[in-house]
Amino acid sequence: MSVRVSLGQLAVSDDHAANRHVVATAFRTAAAVRSQLLVLPEYASGYDPAGVGREHAEPLDGPFVTMLREKARAHGTAVVAGTTLPGASPDRAVNAVVAVDATGELVGAYRKVHLYDAFGHRESDRLEPGPVDAPPLVLDVGELRFGVMTCYDLRFPESARRLVDAGADVLLVPAAWAAGPGKADQWRTLARARAIENTAVVVAVGQVGRGVTGRSLLVGPDGEVGLELGTDPEIRTADLDPAELAAVRERNPSLANRRYAVVPRG
């Protein structure tokens, strides 16, 4: 049976209450087409192009994740969304992605391992990284297993491979992909690369607005782009067929043929 997935490409502000309203609307839109999973961007709870830090952090029992759980349960729609959690020290926060199942249960939170210290940005000035040896975050919906990573992780093949080793058929990549020369092309190229090398579906959902790229993608396990959004807020839905994924992996058994494993580096 296919799994219906909605890509929620949203514009996110630093107004947390307003963002919760936007996310609630996205849930209604996804539920109207009977979507089983809604994927939202990185930092969906609150975002500032100048940098996200401790002032944006909410605990897992705070307003944003509580709302996700309530809406997931009310609509029977699982959700994966970026948020910001308090850090271990008072001046730091954690860039995280949470997964909530269709009953409203919090499956887990992935704390971003690769902080975006590149292209003139320094997430590490405000954020602390997640533990490299944390168990991979995976979410089962229907007959597919979804693995969670985020944004800058897309540049690190090991992150995707570790999720595939945990059984992921689909890689979910919530992002606030920074805009700039060549960045949209890199976003598209990297999403296709992670799909091809892992014979996995990639669902890469970006924010739109000032300083970010948008252009959310759904890439098949053969690297073909099946869905590509523009630079405006939009919600699009697609059906993912486990049989089609299995057929690609049978024709191209590269996962079975590999000779190296991925292990955390301290």
Residue 190 covered by a domain: yes
Give the Cα separation of 87 and 255 in Å (integer).
36
Return the active site residues.
Answer: 42, 112, 151
Handedness of CA 30, 170, 11, 15 (dihedral sign): positive
Q: What is the DSSP letter of 164?
A: H
Q: Which domain holds residue 119?
A: 3-251
> Which tens digits make up the pLDDT trace of 246-261?
999 999 999 999 999 9
At residue 266, does pLDDT exceed 80?
Answer: no
Residue 258 covered by a domain: no
> Which tens digits make up the pLDDT trace of 223-241?
999 999 999 999 999 999 9
Residue 256 covered by a domain: no
Residue 214 covered by a domain: yes
Residue 8 covered by a domain: yes
Question: How many structural domains comprise the chain?
Answer: 1
> Which tens digits make up the pLDDT trace of 2-18?
999 999 999 999 999 99
> Which tens digits make up the pLDDT trace of 152-165?
999 999 999 999 99
Residue 263 covered by a domain: no
Q: Which residues pair with 175 in a beta bridge?
A: 206
CATH number for the domain that contains residue 206: 3.60.110.10
- Model confidence at 118, pLDDT cuts 50, 70, 90, reads very high
Residue 231 covered by a domain: yes
Give the Cα separation of 39 and 128 in Å (integer).
24
Give the global pTM. 0.97
**Cβ burial 76-89 (10 Å sphere, 16+ → b, else e):** ebbbbbbbbbebee
Query: Which strand ranges, in their side-by-side order, compose the sheet holding 225-228?
Result: 138-141, 144-148, 170-175, 201-206, 217-219, 225-228
Residue 39 covered by a domain: yes
CA atoms within 13 A on the CB side of 189: 6
